Chain A
Amino acid sequence: MFYRLSGIHHTGYESARRLWPVPADRWQVGAVLVLALAAPFLVSNLYLGSYILPWLIWSAAALSLSLLMGLAGQLHFGYAAVMAIGAYTSIHLSQAGVPFALSLLGAGVVSALIGTVFGAAALRVKGLYLVMATLAMQYLVDWVIVNVPAISGGAQATLRTPTVTFLGLPVETLTQRYYLALAWAVLLTLFFMNVKRTSFGRALIAIRDKDFAAAVIGVDPFRYKLMAFLTSSFVGGVTGAILAFCYYRAVTPEQFSFNVSIQLVAMVLVGGLGSAIGGFLGAGFVLLLPIILTNVIADLGSSGWIDISRNLMSHLPLIFYGAMIIGFLLFEPLGLAKIYDNIRKYFLVWPFRHSRS
Chain B
Amino acid sequence: MTETDTVLRCENVNRWFGGIHALKGVTLDIAQGEIFGLVGPNGSGKTTLVNCVTGFYPPQEGRIAFEGRDITGRKPHRIAADGIARTFQNVALFRGMTVLENILMGRHNLMNPNPVSSLFYPFMARKEEVAHRRKVEAIIDLLQLESVRDEGVDVIPLGLQKRVELARALSAEPRMLVLDEPMAGMNQEEKEYMVRFILDAHEALGLTVLMIEHHMDVVTAICGRVLVLNDGTPLALGPAKEAIADPDVVAAYIGGRSDAA
Please determine whether A213 and B88 come into contact, CB atoms closer than 8 angstroms. yes
Please determine whether B126 and A17 come into contact, CB atoms closer than 8 angstroms. yes
Please determine whether B114 and A200 come into contact, CB atoms closer than 8 angstroms. yes
Q: Which of A194, A200, A205, A274 contacts B94 (CB 8 A)?
A: A205
**Which of A113-121, A217-225, A293-301, A304-312 interfaces with chain B?**
A217-225
A352 at interface, CB cutoff 8 A: no
A192-213 interface with B by 8 A CB criterion: 194-195, 197-203, 205-206, 208-210, 212-213
Q: In the complex, which of the residues A208, A215, A218, A221 has the most CB atoms of chain B within 10 Å of its own CB atom? A: A218
Please determine whether B121 and A218 come into contact, CB atoms closer than 8 angstroms. no
Q: How far is the CA of A197 from the CA of B132 in the complex (A)?
A: 13
0/1 per residue, A115-138, Cβ < 8 Å to B?
A: 000000000000000000000000
Query: What residues on B are CB-neighbors of A201 within 8 Å?
Result: 118
Q: Which of B75, B105, B109, B112 contacts A206 (CB 8 A)?
A: B105
A227 at interface, CB cutoff 8 A: yes
Query: What residues on B are CB-neighbors of A220 within 8 Å?
Result: 75, 77
B212 at interface, CB cutoff 8 A: no
Please determine whether B104 and A215 come into contact, CB atoms closer than 8 angstroms. no
0/1 per residue, B111-137, Cβ < 8 Å to A?
A: 111110111010001101110111000
Query: What residues on B are CB-neighbors of A209 within 8 Å?
Result: 94-97
**Which of B4-12, B37-45, B78-86 interfaces with chain A?**
B78-86
A64 at interface, CB cutoff 8 A: no
Query: What residues on B are CB-neighbors of A215 within 8 Å?
Result: 75-77, 80
Q: How far is the CA of A277 from the CA of B128 in the complex (A)?
A: 26
Please determine whether B94 and A199 come into contact, CB atoms closer than 8 angstroms. no
Please determine whether B94 and A206 come into contact, CB atoms closer than 8 angstroms. yes
Query: What residues on A are CB-neighbors of B105 within 8 Å?
Result: 202-203, 206, 214, 217
Of chain B, the residue at the smallest CB distance from A195 is: B118
User: A222: shortest Cβ distance to chain B, in Å?
Assistant: 9
Q: How many residues of A contact B (CB 8 A)?
A: 32
Please determine whether A217 and B133 come into contact, CB atoms closer than 8 angstroms. no
Interface of A is mostly: helix
Please determine whether B97 and A200 come into contact, CB atoms closer than 8 angstroms. no
A231 at interface, CB cutoff 8 A: yes
B141-187 interface with A by 8 A CB criterion: 168-169, 172
Query: What residues on A are CB-neighbors of B56 within 8 Å?
Result: 212
Quick one: given A17-B129, A202-B101, A220-B77, are A191 and B118 in contact (CB under 8 Å)?
yes
User: A274: shortest Cβ distance to chain B, in Å?
Assistant: 8
Query: What residues on B are CB-neighbors of A219 within 8 Å?
Result: 77, 108
0/1 per residue, A7-39, Cβ < 8 Å to B?
A: 000001110010000000000000000000000
Of chain B, the residue at the smallest CB distance from A70 is: B96
Please determine whether A200 and B172 come into contact, CB atoms closer than 8 angstroms. no
A96 at interface, CB cutoff 8 A: no
A216 at interface, CB cutoff 8 A: yes
B106 at interface, CB cutoff 8 A: yes
Q: How far is the CA of A41 from the CA of B113 in the complex (A)?
A: 42
Please determine whether A212 and B92 come into contact, CB atoms closer than 8 angstroms. yes
| Contacts A/B (CB < 8 Å), 15 sampled | A13-B130, A13-B134, A14-B130, A194-B119, A200-B117, A200-B118, A206-B97, A206-B108, A209-B94, A210-B95, A213-B93, A216-B85, A217-B85, A217-B168, A218-B172
